[in-house]
A and B are shown apart, each in its own frame.
Chain A
Amino acid sequence: MGEEGLTRALSRTLLHIVIILVALIWIFPSLGLLVTSIRFPHDVASTGWWMIFKNPFNSTQYTLENYITVITRCGIGRAFLNSFIITIPATVLPILIASFAAYAFAWMRFPGRQSLFVILVALLVVPLQMTLIPILRVFNRLGLSGTFPGIWLAHTGYGLPLAIYLLHNSVAGLPSELFDSAEVDGASSSYIFFRLVLPLCIPAIASLAIFQFLWVWNDLLVALVYLGGTPDVAPVTVQVSSLVGSYGQMWELLTAAVFISIIPPLILFFSLQRYFVRGILAGSIKG
């Protein structure tokens, strides 16, 4: 090996070392979460979680007790269920309403179409904070605060600009011959929408659905404001953040609670990776 070859080999080794190091730094905190959640409380309080590496296969140092405790006694079980009750309608509703609107924006002519669309794009980046107080007041008057329908509606409103914008892009991308021939056949606009537009836009809808699901599932602010801390309706993010206040140093419980809360997003991430990444990238413009 000549001198040049040696430098090349050296710099390649360095490259590998840097990359592996970055990956380790990235995964280390999450690993700490998982390990701590299955250790005994007195172990967690007295030694660092990395101590399990001394004897990683000694199964007597692991327990599922913390999970049982947080599910039954810290309200995480209920909160997990609430998160699903909140997230599923708050994902379906905006996407349905948005696909109607996207179809109209893309394939129908009506006065004010351009200006309405510009307003929509502007609404993409309006911070939620601008809306919290007036909506909370209306919700209080209508008895919607602290209820599931209230937060479903709120997430629908907040999710719409992005959903319409993205679906518009893919509905507009459909070939115009499709619409022409359907019209020649005398198809109604509702037939075209349900039988042609929706099925053809399934990939876009899937990415959008994953993004909206994640956004709602991981949301803290909207839930705090419209649901308050009531345990009957609080989602898992709100419950975990209140545990941080009350169980501040009981890391085995906090980590178990967090791990439960990230299971659904992680399942989505591992199983639908391509749509997941696409959804996140598409949603990045959301305000």
Chain B
Amino acid sequence: MHTKRSTPWLYLGPALAALTFFLIYPSINTIYLSFLDRSSERFVGASNYVYVFANRTMLTALRNNTLWVLIFTPLTVFLGLILAVILDRVEYETTIKFIIFMPMAISFVGASVIWKFVYAYRPPLAPQIGFLNAFCGILRLSPVPWLIRKPWINNFCLIAVGVWVWTGFCMVILSATYKGLPRQLLEAARIDGANEWKIFWKIIFPLMMPTITVLITTQVIGVLKVFDIVYVMTNGNFGTEVIANRMYKEMFNFRNFGRASTIAVVLLLLILPMMLVNLWRFRREGVR
């Protein structure tokens, strides 16, 4: 193309300026800040990093993020996969998909309030207005303070909110892939007498593996940064702290910018392997 040499930079200019100012410069600066003290005045070496990996609340946060990755990711992907496959067999598929995808439109803040109400707890004998505890009442169980009972129940309850929001997303992506599978292959297996269970594990699952891998990377990246649900529902109390919420607290409640920066860097380091997978995929596909 015969454009002037300066023309591309005219078009790129605003974008490059914004990317430099809002992403590149601050990221480099944050790495630098992570080696400074709380008000960024004195060099403190690696002591912020020592804190991050030794402080009890931070360790809880790291454990909980691991829990989120290990439960949220497989659950959303697997539920999405099952739904994609079984919904394909019913006539009212679209309606059900619509219902399951709808939470994606709702903010995490909204979803958190919705579920906080489901988990609402009152002491025994008081009328339970939270659905889950009312249900416990029907089963003659005593009410459970879902969001307070550590360490597993409350974390599972928070993770369930994430699953409620994100399963629809996985379902829609996997459903598109499933509908693109060669149908003759599945039919041939059925004629050969393979049962549905076998067909699922031996044919459908391996064929969908590339999509599943992509989904897992995106879900892991997303869940490592989980913030809103925890901030609104428990604010990290009762052993539900997560990395992103801890960073927010170090920043605004404790005003320790050194530690807050360090937590951000740790988050980046956890996400980095996923970034490399993305880059590798991009290189393979090429720019054009």
Contacts and interface: CB of A to CB of B under 8 A. Distances in A.
Given A19-B86, A26-B100, A261-B107, A107 B14 contact: no
Interface string B69-92: 000000000000001001101100
Given A33-B114, A254-B113, A277 B22 contact: no
Given A100-B12, A101-B12, A129-B225, 6 more contacts: A19-B87, A29-B131, A103-B11, A128-B225, A193-B11, A287-B271
Interface stretch (B50-58, B150-158, B201-209, B262-270): B262-270
Contacts of A135: 22, 26
A104 B218 contact: no
15 contacts: A29-B115, A44-B129, A48-B134, A104-B12, A105-B287, A108-B1, A110-B9, A129-B225, A129-B247, A130-B268, A131-B22, A255-B113, A262-B106, A269-B104, A281-B172
B128 interface: yes
Interface string A84-105: 0000000000000110110111
A203 interface: no
A161 B23 contact: yes
A19 B25 CA distance: 49
A36 B130 CA distance: 11
Interface stretch (B41-49, B59-67, B116-124, B180-188): B116-124
A268 interface: yes
B128 A48 contact: yes
A3 to B, nearest CB: 16
Interface in B194-236: 218, 221, 224-225, 227-228, 231-232
Contacts of B260: 132-133
Interface string A117-145: 11111111111111111110000000000
A217 interface: yes
Nearest to A284: B218
Interface residues of A, number: 99
Given A120-B19, A131-B30, A179-B1, A262 B225 contact: no
B18 A134 contact: no
Contact of A121 (B115, B173, B228, B279): B279
Contacts of A61: none
Nearest to A47: B127
Contact of B33 (A134, A193, A218, A269): A134
Given A122-B279, A129-B244, A241-B231, A262 B11 contact: no
B136 interface: no
A285 interface: yes
B263 A129 contact: yes
Contact of A100 (B14, B128, B261): B14
B24 interface: yes
A118 B265 contact: no
A280 B100 CA distance: 14
A156 interface: yes
A121 B278 contact: yes
A189 B86 CA distance: 51
Contact of B275 (A100, A125, A172, A276): A125
Contacts of B15: 97-98, 100-101, 160, 164
Given A132-B251, A161-B23, A32 B118 contact: yes
Nearest to A217: B107
Q: Which of B22, B98, B227, B228 has the most CB of A within 10 A?
A: B22
A55 interface: no
A49 B134 CA distance: 11
Contacts of B120: 251
A52 interface: no
A113 B12 CA distance: 11
Contacts of A45: 129
A32 B264 contact: no
A108 B9 CA distance: 10
A11 to B, nearest CB: 9
Interface string B3-20: 101011101101110110
Contacts of B191: none
A258 B87 CA distance: 30
Nearest to A46: B127
A6 interface: no
A67 interface: no
Nearest to A244: B232
B189 interface: no
A221 B228 contact: yes
